[in-house]
Structure 1
Amino acid sequence: MNKKIGMIAGAVALAGVVGTGIYHAEASSSNEGQVQIVEEENITMEDATKKLEEEYQGTVKELELDEEGNKLYYEAEIIVENQEYDVKMDAESGEVVYEEVDDDGYDDRYDDDRNMEENQQDTTVENENSNSKNNLIAQEEAVKIAKQLFDGEVVDMELDYDDGRYVYEFELVNGQQEADIDIHGETGDILSLEVEYEDD
C-alpha cells in the first residue's frame, strides 16, 4: 500500500515538473512574439518622410532603413534650399539622433546632372523642366503605386533627376524577394520593375 502511495506521489510530482516545463516553454514562445510586436511598432517610411519634411521644411531626396546592432534607423538626405542635411532617425521613436549639414554637397551631387540636361535642351523645354518639380506626384502616391506592383516593405527610396525627368526609385523587400521599382515622378508611370530572389 505504501509503495502504491509512493508511486502515485512520484507520478504527481513528475507531472508537475513536466507541466511547469511546458508552461515555461509556452511563456518563452509568447515572449518571442512580444519582441516581434515591438519590432513591428517602428514608424513607416512614409511617416518618417513626412515628419522629416515638416521638421526641416525641405524635401527628402533619399531615405533608407538600416540596422545597427539591434536597432533600426532611417538614414535620410534632406534638401533645404541650397543645403543638404544628412540625418539619422530612430525608427522606433522618430527621434533624430544624428544630423550633419553638407554645405557643398547639394549643388555638386544633386543639381549638376539636372543643369547639364537643361543646358542641352531648348528654352521652352528648359522652362518646363525648371517647373517640373512643382508637378511631382506626392511620395505617398508613389509608394502606393510601388506596393500595388510588389507587396513588400519599402526599405529604400530616392527622388532622382535622370534623363530630363524626376524619378522615384524604390527598393522593397518581402521575405527572400527584393524588388527595384522606378516610377515617373510626374505621371506615376512605371519605368522599370526588377524582382530578385535571394538565396540563403
Structure 2
Amino acid sequence: MNKKIGLIAGAVVLTGIVGTGIYHTEASSSKEGELQITAAEKVTIEEATKKLEEAYQGTVKEIELDKERNKLYYEAEIIVDKQEYDVVMDAESGEVVYEEIDDDYKNNDDRDNDDRNLEAAGQQETNAENSSKDNKSNLIAQEKAIEIAKQEFDGEVVQIELDFDDGKYVYELELVNGHQEADIDIHGETGDILSLEIDYEDD
C-alpha cells in the first residue's frame, strides 16, 4: 500500500507564529518509473551545477536527475544573460552530451517585460513585485538550500528549481532515499522550510 505523509511548516512573518500540521492521505500509485540512485553516479547535483555555471558563465535555473537506457543524466536549464540553454550532462562523466538554445525564451522574456511596463504605469503593487523579483542579491546559495534540505531528509537531491511565487523566491527540491521521496520548499532568502512532503511505499 502506498502512503503519503506530508509535513507542512508555514511561517507567518507578521506574528512570528509557526504552524505545523501532519496530513495522512492514500497515494494512488508509486511514482511511475521510480528513479534508483546507484553507485554509478559519480557527479553530485551540486558538482553538476557548479560545472555548468562555470562552463556557461550563467545561472542554473533548474536541474534534474533523469534515467534513460540505464544511464543517469542531468537535464538542466541555464540562463546566460537573456538566453536559455537546455543542456544534458552525463551524470557519471560530467560531460555535456547535448545542448540546445531555447529560442522562445528571449521572445517570451521580452513580452513579459512589455507587460510589466504596461502594468507598472497604473499599478504600484505590480511594480513593487517586479522590483522584488529582479533583486536576487539576498538569495541564499543553491548549495545552502541543498544543505538545509538534507538536514530535514537524508536523501539524494535529484531536482532543484528556483521559482518566484507569491512575491518571494522559493527553492523547490526533490530528494530520494530508496523508496522514499521528499519534496521540500525553502524560502530563497531566509532559508526557512516552507513545506516538506514525504512519499513512501509501505511493504
TM-score with structure 1 setting the length: 0.72
Does the residue aligned with 2:43 lie in a helix, a strand or coil?
A: coil
Amino acid in the other structure paired with 1:81? D
Look up the match of 1:146.
Answer: 149
Does the residue aligned with 2:191 lie in a helix, a strand or coil?
A: coil
Runs of 4+ in 1 over 2 A off after TM superposition: 105-113, 122-130
1:191 to 187, 194, 200: 194
Looking at structure 1, the residues matched to 84 and 157 of structure 2 have their Cα atoms a distance apart, in angstroms, of 23
2:166 to 163, 166, 170: 163
Look up the match of 2:140.
Answer: 137
1:83 aligns to 2:86 (yes or no): no
Does the residue aligned with 2:53 lie in a helix, a strand or coil?
A: helix
Q: Does structure 1 conserve the Cα–Cα contact (< 8 Å) formed by 2:172 and 2:186?
A: yes
Amino acid in the other structure paired with 2:78? I
The 1:68/1:107 distance shift into structure 2, 3 A limit, reads same
Look up the match of 1:176.
Answer: 179
Shift of 1:135: 1.3
Gap runs ≥5 in structure 1: 1-35
Does the residue aligned with 1:186 lie in a helix, a strand or coil?
A: coil
Identity %: 69
The 1:124/1:98 distance shift into structure 2, 3 A limit, reads closer
Aligned residues: 160
Look up the match of 1:64.
Answer: 64
- Structure holding more strand per residue: 2
Looking at structure 2, the residues matched to 112 and 163 of structure 1 have their Cα atoms a distance apart, in angstroms, of 17
Looking at structure 2, the residues matched to 98 and 55 of structure 1 have their Cα atoms a distance apart, in angstroms, of 14
- Point out which structure has higher relative CO (alpha carbons under 8 A, 6+ apart): 2
Aligned-residue Cα RMSD (Å) equals 2.5
Does the residue aligned with 1:135 lie in a helix, a strand or coil?
A: coil
Task: Name the larger-Rg structure.
Answer: 1
TM-score with structure 2 setting the length: 0.71
Q: Does structure 1 conserve the Cα–Cα contact (< 8 Å) formed by 2:133 and 2:164?
A: no
The 1:89/1:135 distance shift into structure 2, 3 A limit, reads same
Shift of 1:176: 1.1
1:44 aligns to 2:48 (yes or no): no
Looking at structure 2, the residues matched to 66 and 100 of structure 1 have their Cα atoms a distance apart, in angstroms, of 17
Does the residue aligned with 1:140 lie in a helix, a strand or coil?
A: helix
The 1:122/1:101 distance shift into structure 2, 3 A limit, reads closer
Gap runs ≥5 in structure 2: 1-37
Look up the match of 1:127.
Answer: 131
Does the residue aligned with 1:136 lie in a helix, a strand or coil?
A: coil
